[in-house]
A and B are shown apart, each in its own frame.
Chain A
Amino acid sequence: MDSTTPKNSLVIKNLQVSIEGKEILRGVDLTVNSGEIHIIMGPNGSGKSTLCYALMGHPAYEITGGEVLFNGENILELSPDKRAHLGLFLGFQYPREVTGVTFGNFLRIASNNLQKNRDPSVKPLSPIQYYPVVQKAMNDMKLDKSFIGRSLNEGFSGGEKKRAEIIQMNLLKPKIAMLDEIDSGLDIDALKIVAEGIQKTFEEQNIGVLLITHYQRILNYLTPHFVHIMSKGKIIKSGDMALAHALEKEGYDQFITA
C-alpha cells in the first residue's frame, strides 16, 4: 500500500433514515477508511441497501438523525453528484438502463466530468484517448469489447451489469466505494471475476470498500478487514473474518435474538 496516499474516511454517526415516514435505519455507526474492506451482512429487510442509498443521497430517503462525514465534511446536505465529486461511489444491485447512450461514451463523459470537478487542471480525454483505457478495464472484467458501443446497461444480463458496475468503479476512481449486493444473481465464474475486480481496484487505487451482501460465498474470493452484522436498522455486531465463519456455521439467528 502506498503510504503517501492521503487517507480518506467515511464516518457514519448514529445515522437514522426513514422512507415515507417509516423508520428503516435506527442509528448506524460505522467508519470506513481507505485501505479497508468492510462487509455488511444481514437478513433481508435489515436496512443494508437503505444505508447505501442514503449515503449516496437518494432523494426518497429522509435523514431523521445523525451525521455522515467524508474526510470531516458533513455530506448529508449534498446532492448525489456532489457526493460523487468528493469520491463516493455506489455500485447498484439493479443498475439502470439509459437508451442511446453508449457504455463507452457514458464512461468517458462521467470520468472526464469527475476529473474536472476534482481537479480543474486535468484535460478531458478524447474518445480516441479514452478508448484504450475502457478496453483494458473491460478486458480485466472479461466483458466483450462490443459492449463499449451498446446502450448503457440496456439488454445486459444480470452478470454483465454487475461486471459493468465494477468497470465503472475502476474507471471513475472513487475514494470510498459502496457495493450493494454486487454478488447477487451471479454464477460462480462471474462471482470470481467480480470479486477479483473489486480486489484489484482496492489494491491499485487504495480505496475503501463497503460491500453489502447476504451471501457468504463472495468471502471465498475476497478477504474483508471488517465484518458487520446488521439487523432491524442497526449494526448489532462487528468483527473480522472469524465472525463471518461463525455466521456461516450458525446462521443469523443467534446474533439477532441475542
Chain B
Amino acid sequence: MWSLLKIELFKVFKRPRTYIAFIAVWAIVSLIQLAIYVDGPKYMDFVLRDVKESFDVIGDPLNGYFVCFVILQTLLIHVPLLVALVSADMVAGEANMGTLRLLISKPVSRTKLLLSKFFASAIYAIILLIWIAILGLFLSMVVFGTDGLINAKSYEIIILNGNDVFWRYLCAFGFAALALITVSSLGFFFSIFAENSLGPIVATMSVIIVFTILTTLDIPLFQSVKDFFFTTHMIGWKGFFEMKTDAEGMSIPGTIRNLPAVLRSAGILLLHILIFTGSAIFIFNRKDVLS
C-alpha cells in the first residue's frame, strides 16, 4: 500500500497540472495581500462601516491574522476547484491516457489501487493547504504583524485577543483539510465514471458552485435543506473563530462557542468522504474497464 501510494504521489507531483494550483494560490494570496497592503484601511472601513460611526478602533485590526482570515474566506471557496482539478483526474485521467488498463492488469487489488489514489489526492490537498498556510498565514504574519482579530459576521463582530488566534488557525486549517478532502473524494467519485477528466472536474465544480449558491441564497426553502449540503459544513472552520460567553455576556478567550456543532460538521464531512470514497471503491471493483 505504501509503495502504491508512493507511486501515485510520484505521478501526481510529476505532472505539470499539479503545480497550476500552487501557482494559482500564490497569485491569489499575493493579490489579496497586495490589495490589503495598499487599500487595507478602505476595506476595513467597509467591514466596520456601521461600527465606525459610533466606535473608535484601538489596536491594529489590519494585521496578519485579519489578512489570513480574508484569504481563507476567499480561497476556501476556490481552492476546492483546484483540488478537483487533480482528484477528478485521478482515475479518469488514467482512463484517458490508456494507463488505467495497465494498472488494473498489475498484481494489485482495485481497492488498494483506488485507496492509494484517494490518499494521494488527499495528500495533495493537504500539501496545497500547507502552501496556503505558509503564504496566507505565516507570510501575512510577517508582513502585517499580529494583533487581535476582528471576525465580522453579518450580524455581529467577534473580537479575538491577539494571543488567542494562532491556535484557532491551526484548528481551522485542520478543518479546512477535511473540507478539501471531501471535495477531493467527490471529484474522485465522479472520476471513476468518466474516460476523460474534464467531465468529473466540471461535475465536481458544478456541485460545489450550485450548493454554495443555494446555501448563500436567503430563500427559506433552501435554508431548511442546507444542512444536507456538505458545502454548508465546509465553512465550519469559521466556528473556531467564535467564543463562548460568560453569564455577563463577556466572551471567554480560549473557548469555542459551539464546539459540538463544529465537530458535527467535521463528522458530516468525514461521513461524506467515507461515502464518496467507499462508493467509488465499491462501484469500481465491479466495473468493467473498457477504456
A, B co-complexed? no
Interface residues of B (CB under 8 A from A): none
Interface residues of A (CB under 8 A from B): none
